[in-house]
Amino acid sequence: MTDKLTPWDRVKLARKIDRPTSSDYISKVFDSFIELHGDRYYGDDSAVVAGIAKYNYQSITVIAQQKGKNIKENKKRNYGMPKPEGYRKALRLMKQAEKFKRPIILLIDTPGAFCGIEAEERGQGEAIAKNLYEMSSIKVPILSIVIGEGGSGGALAFGVSNEVWMLKNSIYSVISPEGFASIIWKDGKRAPEAADLLKLTAHDLIRLKIIDKVIDEPDEFTVDSMDNLVNDIKTQIQQFLDSHIKMTEEEIVSSRYNRFRTL
């Protein structure tokens, strides 16, 4: 079944309302989680959930983009579209993780950064750019996992990592298919065609060496069917931690730098 899916089919699967969200992974993958709030500049952003987790007795900083499971939750979470304070909260927690030598795991699931006027007034572009800049030199291992939509700079600001993984039916792109079609052809209805051209699927991106790993998922993917996937992710996270814990700070930063220089 899945071999016959088009890129547009995968876009629709990545956006399904009953697809597991970041909070589902946090509750199932980690032994405990303490959420921390605020960017220390403006406020808290509920589209970004961040805090300290325990994983096999090891402390880890987890930072996740959070969508809702219904209209009410999506309004609260701004449909998973972070504002500047969300990116600044994420960076605050990443710098804290560096100080206390905690590995960082980021879960990516966003249509893109929020583009409302208030976000622009509070420095959306600067907040994203600063994340990209600062993440490049953080001295602890960083792992990013695209669990649903990885849209535009909103996702890239969580993606400057030692490794980037994707679930099989997730997507990762500099722009949405609708945005591409509207800009290039002035016709948003050509989004399925744009999805094919963008090479946004996990299959495309592993072939192009943009990402490091594709994680299998059930064809009917919901919270009720994610246990096997969770076990797989837990095993692979442990392997990532084991391989990077032996590295010096200079080696961690250098491996991240070299990863992006070779793209």
Average pLDDT over residues 144-153: 96
197-229: burial string, b at 16+ Cβ within 10 Å, e else: ebebbbbbbeeeebbbebbebeeebebeebeeb
Range of the domain at 195: 2-261
Average pLDDT over residues 2-16: 90
In the structure, what pLDDT confidence band is assigned to residue 262 with cuts at 50, 70 and 90?
confident
pLDDT at 54 over 80: yes
Q: How many domains does the chain have?
A: 1
pLDDT tens digit sequence for 66-121: 999 999 999 999 999 999 999 999 999 999 999 999 999 999 999 999 999 999 99
pLDDT at 27 over 80: yes
Q: CATH number, domain at 200? A: 3.90.226.10
Contact 167, 144 (CB under 8 A): no
Query: Tell me, what's the pLDDT at 2?
Result: 46
pLDDT tens digit sequence for 177-198: 999 999 999 999 999 999 999 9
In the chain the first and final C-alpha atoms are separated, in Å, by 31
